[in-house]
Structure formats: C-alpha cells, structure tokens
Amino acid sequence: MLKIIVTGCAGFIGSQLTKQLLKDGHNVIGIDNFDPFYSPLIKRNNLKECLNYDNFTFFENDLRDEQAVKTIFSKGADIVVHLAGKAGVRPSIDKPQDYIDHNITATRVVLDAMKYAQIKKLAFASSSSVYGNNPQRPWREDISVDNPISPYAFSKKSCELLNHTWHHLFEMDIINMRFFTVYGPAQRPDLAIHKFTKLMYEERPLTLFGDGSSARDYTFISDTISGIKGVINYLMSHNHVYEIINLGNNKPISLNDLVKEISAATGIKPKIERLPMQPGDVDITCADISKAEKMINYQPKTQLHEGLKKFVNWYKNNYQTLKKGV
C-alpha cells in the first residue's frame, strides 16, 4: 500500500479520489484550505466520510504557507497528487493575481516541499483550458498550447512548465493530467450541470451564453478517478517520467443538447434566457485520449445520460445540505 499526499482533498475531484484511495487501503495525507470560491460547508461535507478512516490524516492549510507545507511533506510519502488550485475561467479574468498566487506560487511551494522531503513522484491536475481555441481537434497532447485565453488557462500552462523545470533539475517523475469538464455527484455548484439542475428545480430561468452551439467534453467523475489511479500506478512503476495526458471523454456535447439531456434527467422543461458568449470561454473542448488509453489503459465508460441520472439523484438526496451551503 502507498502513502499518498492529496492536495485539495475536500474539493469535488479531491474528495472522491481520497475516498477511493482510502477504500483501496492506501494511507492518505490530505491538505485543503476550504477556499471560499464556493461554500466551505459543501467541502467539509465532502470530507466527512474520509475522516472516519484510520488511514487518513487531514491538515487544514494554505499551500502558500511554505513552512507548513514543508513540515507536512517532511512526514514522507510515495507520491503527491496535486489537485488543489483556484478554479473558474470567468472569475480569473477579474482576479488574475489570485490565480497566480493559488495555482502558480502554490505549485512551486509543493515542488520545493517535495524536493526537501525527497518525494520524487507527482500527478498534477492541469486543465483542458490550456488548449485555448485551438482549431486542431480532437486535441492531442503534443499540439501547441501557447495561446491561452484566460488567466486560469495561463496559470495551468505555467504550472506544467514549472513541473517540467523541476523534473529536469531534480529528477522528479511527473505526469500532468489535463481534465475535461468533470461532472457527477458532488460536482462544484458553479459548473453548468449543477447550476442548471438547481435552476430547473427552483423553476428559475437558465442563462445560456451564445447560441448554444458551444460544446464540452463532459467526463464522469468515476472515469476521471480511474484515470488518476492509472496515473498513480504508472508513476510508481516507471522512472525518468515527464508526460502530459488528456483525461477526457472524446465525445463533446453542445450546450443546447446538454440542456435537453438535463431536462430529460429531471423531467423538468426549462425556461431559457440567452446572452452573448463570455470572454475567456472556449468554443469546443474535445480530447484525444489515445495516449491515455495506451499509457494507463484509460477507458471512460459512463455515457452522459447515465451520468446525469446519477447526478440528479445525488442532487435530490442532498438538496437540504446544498441549500445550507449556498
């Protein structure tokens, strides 16, 4: 069994990964600062089940606190899964410095703490946002990502570059995982599927940006977790590694079709308001996942209609808790 540090362990992906790793018998050290980007109550609720495990140790810390992070990492680990970061494309346009601080600086602190503690393996949460509006689709990992269109995107690209530098200088084995719009039970409340479901149940209109033809490569949470576990296994069995892989679904769905699918899952016909496309939003995201298939046997299994049913059931069962958190 491994000793694994998971940063951002109370977030949507982080909490789901932590639960799975604990169930698998690994020892997990979790770090989270309960960033108020969305309600910390929701994140604390995400973490409740994990706190029941004897093989889980939790630290409430900000990754920019260099001494605290160094102290936690000095306890040792086989690998770090660095999921913590400031999320959100549109908010990054208003507060770019927050993304430089919480993504770029925090990642540099993590890398230096790893160096200090002699931890050599890192799985890093990057994003499909780094591709910008590259017309060469599906997006392969080797195409240019030199044209980000939001501060969030450039912060993630910058972290990938940081990771490469520490890999080169200090012989760290690193895989950058580019996630593609992850959804499912416990999804962040600011993301479209959660937001639209909430608005439908509250009989409020949905605000759609653009004509509805923009599309996203939605990836169900269990498929993403499976991909992360595959990355962990790969890193633990290989040396001299620096790789970038897409963890997407390779099946983009338009905004208009997404709304129809959520309507079918909820049984509610939505009211719709349309506004112009927002700055920083990309038109279409589409992952080429052939590299992930070959490297880690990554095979997303959940169809959108199945995943949406699971999300809607979770939303209905957790409505009261979510209400308190908002």
Q: Which residues are catalytic?
A: 152
From residue 209, alpha-carbon distances to 88, 122, 275, 277, 278 in Å are: 16, 36, 5, 5, 7
Closest by CA position to 151, among listed 209, 95, 82, 108: 95
Which DSSP letter does residue 277 get? P
**For residue 195, what is the DSSP state?**
H
User: Residue 3 is encoded by which pair of tokens?
Assistant: 């000793």
Please give the angle made by the CA atoms of 10, 170 and 74, to the nearest 5 degrees.
45
Q: Are the C-beta atoms of 126 and 159 separated by less than 8 Å? A: yes
Residues 6+ apart with CB under 8 A from 7: 14, 31, 32, 63, 80, 81, 82, 83, 84, 110
Per DSSP bridges, beta strands 206-209 and 272-275 are: parallel
Closest CA to 32 of 24, 186, 20, 13: 13
User: What does the alpha-carbon distance between residue 122 and residue 241 come to, in Å, rounded to a whole number?
Assistant: 10
> What is the C-alpha to C-alpha distance for residues 270 and 225, in angstroms, rounded to an integer?
31
CA distance 270 to 58: 41
CA–CA distances in Å: residue 124 to residues 80, 107, 175, 266, 308: 8, 9, 6, 34, 27
**Cα(305)–Cα(288) distance, rounded to whole angstroms?**
21
